[in-house]
């Protein structure tokens, strides 16, 4: 049996080597290149392909992979919104993702960033770096004094809620598919508008499906409290960045943390040292002392990477054996 993997990063290699050690009967090939119509031929002779979500898996890409005899596709990530499922169905593909690799990693990052915004660590760190050890005017706010709105209460959202409870914050939540335990606790509000009106800070944990596109936009921001804090570590397309910049300029939005960006492919996970960003919005946001930008690293922990590699390769083997892994995507 042979599995071929695309987009393997150096930090994934220890996990991959560990998986190979425990699966000596499987031949593994890989490349650092992403899956494209041109690189699909690298998987020829393989039973399954393992990929990481960055580029769209279009009909052209899937057809190129099918042409070399590979119709088992295992993603090392959660999101599947970049797959042309109509084409996948037409071409007879099996698809899996890794829906739960470490919800703690992402929840922790979001709450760390919220805490940093409230305690104004970015301007304070800048002062200390210049040997300015005066307190004022960099005064912070306490988490326990905030009403924090959590949009999306899946695995990650629930972990974030537990962290917020530890801080003593008041939590309100909204989800179209409520969690029974949270419902019994009385954490849910009846509508997004209600959450917008009550929350001092809002953090997002929903998928980037079309119905959630630009969930945070000019109209929704207008419904929020003055000086609202926004955090997005989920999907870039959930936020209309132009609307957020407008909110930051007016003061309607006091602070913003983003780990994902709608146009991040080709921008994030690249070294721009000494070079100009191709996107002036990112340069603008990074320059602001009330904005924290991280380049899609909320997931980026040793535990999460290990799970993403192991679960995706296990699924690839299951597909090759004609089995249906528990993490197969139904479409």
> In the 8-state DSSP scheme, what is residue 130?
T
3-state secondary structure of 83: strand
> Which residue in 76, 109, 235, 310 is the catalytic one?
235
Q: Is 17 a catalytic residue?
A: no
> In the 8-state DSSP scheme, what is residue 268?
T
> Which residue in 109, 158, 296, 310 is the catalytic one?
296
3-state secondary structure of 239: strand
- Residue 256's DSSP bridge partners are 230, 291
Q: Is 33 a catalytic residue?
A: no
> Rounded to whole angstroms, how far apart are CA atoms 152 and 206?
5
> Rounded to whole angstroms, how far apart are CA atoms 38 and 294?
31
Q: Which ranges in the chain belong to alpha helices (H)?
A: 13-22, 59-67, 85-90, 103-118, 121-129, 155-167, 180-185, 192-198, 218-222, 241-250, 280-287, 302-320
Going by C-alpha positions, the residue among 205, 215, 158 that lies closest to residue 183 is 158
> Which residue in 158, 264, 307, 310 is the catalytic one?
264
Q: Is 235 a catalytic residue?
A: yes
Q: How far is CA 31 from CA 15, 22, 41, 182, in A?
A: 15, 21, 12, 44
> Rounded to whole angstroms, how far apart are CA atoms 198 and 251?
17
Q: To which residue do tokens 């409290």 refer?
A: 225
Does residue 117 contact residue 294 with C-beta atoms inside 8 Å?
A: no
List, as one string, the DSSP characters of 43-64.
GTT-SEEEE-SSS-B-HHHHHH
3-state secondary structure of 282: helix
Provide the annotated active-site residues: 235, 264, 296
């Amino acid at each position: 049996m042979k599995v071929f993997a695309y987009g393997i990063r150096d930090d994934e290699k220890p996990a991959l080597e560990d998986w190979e050690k425990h699966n000596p009967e499987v031949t593994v090939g890989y490349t650092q290149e992403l899956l494209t119509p041109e690189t699909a031929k690298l998987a020829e002779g393989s039973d399954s392909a393992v990929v990481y979500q960055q580029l769209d898996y279009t009909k052209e890409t899937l057809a190129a992979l099918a042409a070399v005899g590979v119709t088992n596709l295992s993603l090392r990530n959660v999101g599947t919104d970049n797959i042309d499922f109509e084409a996948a169905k037409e071409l007879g593909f099996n698809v899996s993702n890794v829906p739960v690799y470490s919800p703690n990693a992402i929840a922790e990052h979001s709450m760390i960033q919220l805490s940093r915004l409230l305690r104004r660590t970015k301007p304070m760190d800048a002062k200390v770096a210049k040997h300015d050890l005066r307190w004022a005017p960099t005064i912070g706010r306490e988490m326990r004094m905030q009403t924090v709105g959590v949009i999306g209460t899946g695995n990650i959202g629930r972990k974030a809620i537990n962290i917020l409870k530890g801080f003593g914050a008041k939590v309100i939540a909204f989800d179209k598919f409520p969690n029974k335990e949270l419902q019994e606790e009385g954490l849910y509000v009846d509508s997004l508008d209600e959450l917008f009106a009550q929350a001092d800070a809002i953090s997002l944990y929903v998928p980037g499906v079309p119905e959630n596109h630009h969930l945070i936009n000019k109209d929704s921001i207008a419904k929020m409290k003055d000086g609202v804090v926004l955090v997005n570590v989920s999907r870039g397309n959930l936020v209309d960045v132009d609307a957020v910049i407008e909110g930051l300029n007016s003061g309607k939005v006091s602070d913003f943390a983003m780990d994902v960006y709608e146009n991040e492919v080709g921008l994030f996970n690249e070294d721009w040292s000494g070079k100009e960003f191709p996107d002036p919005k990112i340069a603008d946001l990074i320059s602001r002392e009330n904005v924290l930008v991280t380049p899609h690293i909320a997931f980026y922990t040793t535990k999460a990477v290990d799970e993403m590699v192991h679960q995706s390769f296990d699924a690839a083997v299951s597909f090759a054996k004609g089995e249906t892994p528990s993490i197969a995507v139904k479409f």
